[in-house]
């Protein structure tokens, strides 16, 4: 009889040990996975943000779709203006020589992003299993002026996979799978990100 009790106590100790391990390991695994996935999404959002700024330099407004953004950046030219002091009149600092240079937008974008980037792939959310970022562009009136605005983002639930449940809020009080990770705002001229 005591042998059965001892075996039962061993199993109980193993079960309690496993339960304790899981209660410590789960929050750590959640935080690590959330950080890794969030960083990957933010990295792509920053590339899209840079792409939108270059698009705005070319067109004067923001792209309302990834197809438009890709098409323009792959085919259009960026006009660059270079101002240099007039070498024939070194005493007059108000005279400049203005040089206009046209350069393919894709070359400018690749140098801004630090290498070749497949623009078609920027629409896809990392860890999103084929889901795409939302993208919207519009105009608003701000201080009696027409202002172009853009908003690109996704919700945490779209890239958190198995951690997309509100039950993980117990490990992070600020975690909300419905919260958006984005840059820009359709109600403001800001293109800042909320990361």
14-18, 169-173, 180-184: the lowest-pLDDT one: 14-18
Quick count: other Cβ atoms within 10 Å of Cβ 42?
Answer: 16
> Residue 108's pLDDT is what?
80
Give just the sign of the alpha carbon dihedral 146, 50, 152, 134: positive
Q: What is the chain's mean pLDDT, rounded? A: 85
φ and ψ of 141, to 5 deg: -105, 125
**Residue-level pLDDT at 62:** 95
Sequence ranges of the domains in the chain: 32-75+106-184
What are 140's strand-pairing partners? 147
Asked if pLDDT for residue 41 goes beyond 70, the answer is yes
pLDDT of residue 93: 65
pLDDT for 86 beyond 90: no
Q: Between 56 and 12, whose confidence is greater?
A: 56
């Amino acid at each position: 009889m005591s042998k059965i009790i001892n075996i039962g106590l061993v199993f109980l100790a193993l079960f309690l040990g496993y339960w304790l391990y899981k209660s410590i390991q789960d929050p750590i695994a959640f935080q690590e996975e959330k950080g890794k996935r969030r960083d990957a999404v933010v990295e792509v959002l920053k590339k899209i943000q840079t792409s939108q700024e270059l698009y705005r330099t070319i067109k004067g407004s923001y792209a309302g779709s990834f197809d438009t953004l890709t098409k323009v950046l792959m085919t259009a030219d960026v006009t660059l203006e270079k101002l240099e002091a007039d070498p024939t009149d070194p005493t007059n600092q108000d005279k400049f020589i203005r040089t206009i240079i046209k350069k393919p937008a894709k070359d400018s974008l690749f140098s801004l992003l630090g290498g070749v980037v497949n623009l078609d792939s920027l629409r896809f959310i990392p860890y999103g299993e084929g889901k795409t970022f939302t993208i919207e562009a519009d105009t608003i009136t701000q201080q009696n002026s027409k202002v172009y605005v853009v908003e690109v983002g996704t919700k945490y639930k779209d890239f958190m996979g198995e951690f997309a449940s509100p039950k993980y809020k117990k490990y992070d009080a600020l975690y909300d799978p419905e919260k958006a990770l984005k840059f820009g705002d359709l109600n403001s001229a800001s293109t800042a990100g909320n990361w």
